[in-house]
Structure 1
């Protein structure tokens, strides 16, 4: 993890970086009108480029937080195959029981993934958000994960053209100088099939979009377009080794932006 102390968060592009790995907790919508089981897919993928799909092992944990209460969702998971633009990989489908009004914070703690090309393990601890009846309850609260990004804007109700601010934490403390990769879900999973849609935008010519957290762990990004946006704080977690190799324990958050109509 890079420790670069900056006075403010700066968005920039690193030309040499490869496309970003992102763990998705994908639902077709974030605002839920009716009570019921909301389908979700867990996919480890490069959604901006619609490129390589990594094989996802069964997670260590998959649960939701609603009104401060934790509900285990591991029993809802079933293995599936998912096909991106380059290959097919192992993924999971499950469901989230959305009944009462309020926020539903989805949390996935995956099994570390071995990245052979870099000879390291990657563990992307991911959060995503659903809401029913526009009643905010949990979105602004830390979950208490080894590392996480806490949103300062309501994450399922971002206005395209505005900004999103998050704070990177490790063991509840701010992480200064964290490198945050930013990903647009240009291609989206089809919930009724095993494949992705076609990308609606091209990959950035300079490579991955990156921001750096300031001395208090904060970063801000101007959200230019409606849709799903992901943020991954690389190596921000306290665990740095797995099975004798380097581990990048990353904090991931997904937000949803909307056009004003």
Structure 2
């Protein structure tokens, strides 16, 4: 079973300094039909203006992943970490029993375009943690590259949830398969480009919920950047 979440149907707020889209209910946006999918709780696409950002704020009991598509994002947190996240890198944060952090666009001229994803953890009260890693871009050319997983396989970041997050850069005309355990579920997020899945045309910002399927085949109609979540 496939269910499309069209980009145009997401919650949208433009605060001037922040242009944000919410796939699932978040902050001021509430849609009872789209509160989460399995353990996937937040899928936010943000564009933050130059010299702007989110001040220090707190989170608890959430696994948070951040992917920068363009620009740079400066991170500081209550654990003492201070990093700049750039395209090709992935940031993982276990909010656990409590963490505070800020996110800021350090550029004086360029906006930062990013996706931030939250997953519910396997249990509450975990020790807070932070990790960041740069992945070889060639490793996702027309193939799935594991960004995060429960067991850290293939050099991926570790998350505290039974989920595997993979990314792929698919060239126009190429297709890519993903074998699924029919007892599990998947979410495909189109970060950029256009693809076709089982006759469904998907575009940047669209999401696809997948259940009771043994495989997924993605055909690129234009160069595409994809995130795939394989979840219990």
TM-score of the superposition, structure 2-length normalised?
Answer: 0.32
Provide TM-score, normalisation by structure 1.
0.29
